[in-house]
A and B are shown apart, each in its own frame.
Chain A
């Protein structure tokens, strides 16, 4: 089975802090994604990466950056945390196959910014 591991289940940070969320997958997937999930809004794509050191903006990249130095690891960075970034953050990975492929998710990091 695919395993996507997010380093923290719960995280509490203060406004203005730099926050790092880590994600590791063990299936040698090329593609990795970061989403945030808010009630009534569904999953919204922040950033994704289709290869090491490659990144693409998703739908809501403002206030975030990402890093992918190794194939299995994809980090989400909140440069200066704000209260409106309090949310559930989900990481996913997928294989680059013929056509679109299922994305496999971690169990999420619930981030609170005080």
Chain B
């Protein structure tokens, strides 16, 4: 069946480092991908999305890379800050039909000062 997974359940980095969070997806028909950040006690917060007609998209301090050949998605956070500590998860969907998303289980990012 469809699934969205993450390679690393926990990622620990030092403040100022760049972080890379990875995600593998299994549905080759998916053409929309999105990253969320979830802080403790809060709901998921939209970070950035990308459609399959792109392989890279940049936001403020974040970059999402999409490799459709190997069905891999990554989120890069530049100059990681303690406020970036949270659970990050990806989701996949399709641009047609109902706007359903399939979510991964998440990676916890821990940023040490």
A-to-B contact residues, CB < 8 Å: 4, 31, 40-43, 45, 48, 50, 56, 58, 90, 94, 96, 99-108
Contacts of B45 in A (CB 8 A): 105
Cβ–Cβ contact A42 & B34, under 8 A: no
Contacts of A104 in B (CB 8 A): 46
Known: A4-B43, A90-B43, A106-B43. A42 touches B104 (CB 8 A): yes
CB within 8 Å of A: which of B35-80? 36, 41-46, 49, 51
Contacts of A40 in B (CB 8 A): 105
**Chain B, Cβ-Cβ closest to A45:** B100
Known: A41-B105, A90-B44. A100 touches B89 (CB 8 A): no
From A43, A48, A94, name the one whose CB has the most chain B CB atoms within 10 angstroms: A43
Contact-residue bracket for chain B: 20 to 34
Sample of 18 further A-B pairs with CB below 8 A, known A43-B91, A105-B45: A40-B105, A41-B105, A42-B4, A42-B89, A42-B103, A42-B104, A42-B105, A43-B89, A48-B98, A50-B99, A58-B100, A99-B32, A99-B96, A100-B32, A100-B94, A101-B99, A102-B46, A106-B43
Please, how many angstroms separate the alpha-carbon atoms of A37 and B101 in the complex?
A: 14
Please, how many angstroms separate the alpha-carbon atoms of A99 and B51 in the complex?
A: 9
Cβ–Cβ contact B49 & A102, under 8 A: yes
Cβ–Cβ contact A48 & B100, under 8 A: yes
**Chain A, Cβ-Cβ closest to B4:** A42
Cβ–Cβ contact B100 & A105, under 8 A: no
**9 A-B pairs with C-beta separation under 8 A:** A42-B4, A42-B103, A42-B105, A45-B101, A100-B93, A100-B95, A102-B34, A105-B45, A108-B43
